[in-house]
Chain A
Amino acid sequence: MRVALFATCVNDALMPSTAIATVRLLERLGVEVDFPAAQSCCGQPQFNSGYRRACEPLVRRTVRAFAGYRHVVAPSGSCVATVRTAHPRIAARAGGGLAAAVGELTPRVYELSEFLVDVLGVEDVGAWFPHPVTYHPSCHGLRLLGLGDRPLRLLRAVRGLELLELPGAEECCGFGGTFALKNAAVSAAMAADKTAAALATGAEVLCGGDTSCLLHLGGTLRRQGAPLRPLHLAEILASTEAEPWRAP
């Protein structure tokens, strides 16, 4: 099987390790991975800030970049949610046949855990990660995509991993894109509560499926000097006994 990796702009620019881990994981499972270089940002930050028209070229670019692939896989719940929920809205107002093209693309775009569990039909990906881990389900994956317990099922099958339940897991971490800047005080208060809950589990690793939430929580944890490191789900699933995960 051949898939297109939709790395997302945040991973490309700030967290390449997430995209690299996704490539390693998928290849290990026998999937051939392409990275269509024409891809860019899904337009989420612009769209959510009210700049819908500025997103139109990005929607067109996304449609073009992934034309011809039966499966497009992204290690980000919120970017996939943007493709599924925002792109149709942007396209409907843009005209020029964009709506049809978007409608054709969206069912082929999968968030990583969806692709693994629903398309490949695997929960045990053969990973090994001997650490206590707690998992934060980011809002867009949880509510817009309905990922449910797919990420947890994948984590439970990882050898050596001790999964610790995060109290109040479903509550937002306070990132919210420009919200983190425009309402910094409330955003920081939400991050403080989330990191406190994660620390109280005794985990060494705070796992998530959305890099931007992890940057926000990771930045908060580093400022606190707290003994908890953020890792993307892809990085944990990429780790094996033969090749333990080490961010490049």
Chain B
Amino acid sequence: MSGTFLGLPAFPEAAAAAVQDERLRANLRHATGTIRAKRARAVAELADWAELRAAAKAVKDRTLDRLDHYLVRLEQNVTAAGGQVHWAADAEEANRIVTGLVRATGEREVVKVKSMATQEIGLNEALAEAGIRAYETDLAELIVQLGNDRPSHILVPAIHRNRGEIRDIFADRMADLGRPAPEGLTDEPAELAEAARLHLREKFLRAKVAVSGANFMIAETGTLVVVESEGNGRMCLTLPRTLISVVGIEKVLPTWRDLEIFLQLLPRSATAERMNPYTSLWTGTHADGPDGDGPEEFHLVLLDNGRTDVLADRTGRQALRCIRCSACLNVCPVYERAGGHAYGSVYPGPIGAILTPQLRGTETPLDASLPYASSLCGACYEVCPVAIDIPEVLVHLRERVADGPRHRLARAAAAAAAYVLDHPGLLRAAERAAARTRRLHPRRLPGPGRAWTDTRELPAVPPEPFRDWWRRNRG
């Protein structure tokens, strides 16, 4: 993944700092609380939600089982419709391919459709190094880009910002990247949207090259699908001559009909809408054949970047079903308090906690801490439209971390505790010793125990364990 996140602190430290940030807490509480309630209402409207969810899971699992087959079909059909398919094993290769393609057009700037895959590989930075400017056109991505900030949410990357902060970013920074913000800009949503519209319109009309991702790719027809709310994506997908789409290999669906399921699940889960305002579909280039309705030149870069490793893990691979709806973030009590930046990845929240350590490995302290960034409350699994059992994968990844070399001591301690619990004689002796010394137990613990006693009293040790009560009264 992108180098932007290297060297960040482990989740607990970053989260502890975020918890102290009152403004961030208020922004997140408000934003996630609102969307959470709306999603619940939108989902409750569909009597067959459980069946849709099961169908989506089945389609994705079936596709992942024969991913190679569907990708080859996709390549054939994209090619037949006039597009060119490129295969990128990792971020570096993908960046090299895209940079080369832009250079070949002779252009020095591109407009971008909101895309997670291009953030994952750090494409904007790679393009900048090659002297090519990439302009984000999704409103929230624009806010993040103008603010030299990092995204903190999959769907609403600037969720950590409120209206006042956005106004300041527009007023201060728009002029550096193009048309300045209007004089006297206030924090009224309509004014902010108008400022963004004017700023972006200039770029849409000028751009010759666009870069996008895709929500779905249809193997059967070679069609790509982008689902969005603003219409800015549609501008990028239709106006420029050349379109380069960078898409993770897990985004392929076998047939056109499969869209029926996903186009119902995604908008309700993501924005709580019955249907999203813009769904753009294109097949190849418009020059080629009766079915071709894409741009003049179309390139599809299929991105692996760790995905085949995820696929090899029977438990972990379910993370590849993800359709990036963000429902798990919006419902997560840990995300709400820690904020997206604490996850140190473009994929924050519950899905990030299981995806990032699988894509990047668990070598760094940050990546090794992500599987523990959860109380395992299960709210994410409950809302996930493709039924990813996130708690199951978290525990599975904890096992991977715990088996690692840094955890020899903790592993020994866990084994010792299990040994005592498996020997009732020892357990009873330990319980009785605790009961006898109960008046000596301190209120506040030193060392790691402080994590409990900083904000909570220790439980009082009872005069006798239940076993002894039972023996005296019923035994």
Q: Which residues of A contact B (CB under 8 A)?
A: 7, 9, 11-17, 19-20, 23, 33, 35, 37-38, 40-41, 43, 45-52, 54-55, 57-58, 61, 89, 139-140, 143-144, 170-172, 174-192, 215-216, 218-220, 222-223, 248
A185, B414: Cα distance in complex, Å: 24
List the 10 closest pairs (A to B, CB-CB), nearest first.
Answer: A176-B375, A50-B398, A219-B456, A172-B377, A185-B16, A50-B402, A16-B466, A184-B451, A139-B377, A188-B455
A190, B335: Cα distance in complex, Å: 11
Q: Would A183 and B11 count as touching, CB distance under 8 A?
A: yes
Task: Name the distance in Å between A219's Cβ and chain B's nearest Cβ.
Answer: 3
Given A48-B376, A172-B377, residue A14 in contact with residue B421 (CB < 8 A): no
Is B372 in the interface zone, CB < 8 Å from A? yes
B422 / chain A contacts, CB cutoff of 8 Å: 40, 57-58, 61
A181, B465: Cα distance in complex, Å: 24
B402 / chain A contacts, CB cutoff of 8 Å: 49-51
A181, B469: Cα distance in complex, Å: 31
Q: Would A40 and B462 count as touching, CB distance under 8 A?
A: no
Chain A residue nearest to B33 in the complex (CB): A168
Q: Which of A23, A182, A222, A248 has the most CB of B within 10 A?
A: A182
Task: Name the distance in Å between A173's Cβ and chain B's nearest Cβ.
Answer: 8
A170, B36: Cα distance in complex, Å: 13
Given A50-B395, A176-B375, A185-B16, residue A216 in contact with residue B421 (CB < 8 A): no
Chain A residue nearest to B466 in the complex (CB): A16
Is B170 in the interface zone, CB < 8 Å from A? no
Q: Which of A187, A192, A220 has the most CB of B within 10 A?
A: A187
Question: Among A23, A48, A181, A218, which residue has its beta carbon within 8 angstroms of that of B459?
Answer: A218
Q: Would A179 and B374 count as touching, CB distance under 8 A?
A: yes
A218, B373: Cα distance in complex, Å: 23
Q: Would B457 and A14 count as touching, CB distance under 8 A?
A: no
Given A57-B418, A218-B459, A220-B455, residue A190 in contact with residue B333 (CB < 8 A): yes
Q: Would A38 and B470 count as touching, CB distance under 8 A?
A: no
Task: Name the distance in Å between A94's Cβ and chain B's nearest Cβ.
Answer: 13
Q: Would A13 and B434 count as touching, CB distance under 8 A?
A: yes
Q: Would B414 and A54 count as touching, CB distance under 8 A?
A: yes
A35, B470: Cα distance in complex, Å: 8
Interface residues on B, range: 35 or more
9 contacts between A and B (CB under 8 A): A12-B465, A57-B419, A139-B379, A171-B377, A176-B377, A177-B375, A183-B372, A184-B12, A188-B456
A184, B411: Cα distance in complex, Å: 21
Q: Would B469 and A16 count as touching, CB distance under 8 A?
A: yes
Extra contacts, 7 of them, besides A45-B417, A50-B401, A139-B377 (Cβ < 8 A), are A23-B470, A50-B395, A50-B397, A143-B378, A143-B382, A182-B12, A191-B456
Is B65 in the interface zone, CB < 8 Å from A? no
B458 / chain A contacts, CB cutoff of 8 Å: 219
Given A51-B399, A172-B379, A177-B376, residue A13 in contact with residue B333 (CB < 8 A): no
Give the residues from 437 to 463 in chain B that come closer than 8 angstroms, CB to CB, to chain A: 448, 451-452, 454-459, 461-462
Task: Name the distance in Å between B271's Cβ and chain A's nearest Cβ.
Answer: 22
Task: Name the distance in Å between A177's Cβ and chain B's nearest Cβ.
Answer: 7
Give the residues from 347 to 379 in chain B that come closer than 8 angstroms, CB to CB, to chain A: 369, 371-379
Q: Would A185 and B378 count as touching, CB distance under 8 A?
A: no
Question: Among B11, B381, B431, which residue has its beta carbon within 8 angstroms of that of A12?
Answer: B431
A223 / chain B contacts, CB cutoff of 8 Å: 455-457
Question: Among B334, B414, B474, which residue has its beta carbon within 8 angstroms of that of A183?
Answer: B334
Q: Would A143 and B379 count as touching, CB distance under 8 A?
A: yes
A89, B392: Cα distance in complex, Å: 10
Contact with A along B386-424 (1 / 0, CB 8 A): 000000100101111111000000010011011101101
Q: Would B375 and A54 count as touching, CB distance under 8 A?
A: no
Given A50-B399, A51-B415, A139-B378, residue A12 in contact with residue B421 (CB < 8 A): no
A143, B464: Cα distance in complex, Å: 33
Q: Which of B334, B371, B401, B403 has the most CB of A within 10 A?
A: B334
A139, B391: Cα distance in complex, Å: 12
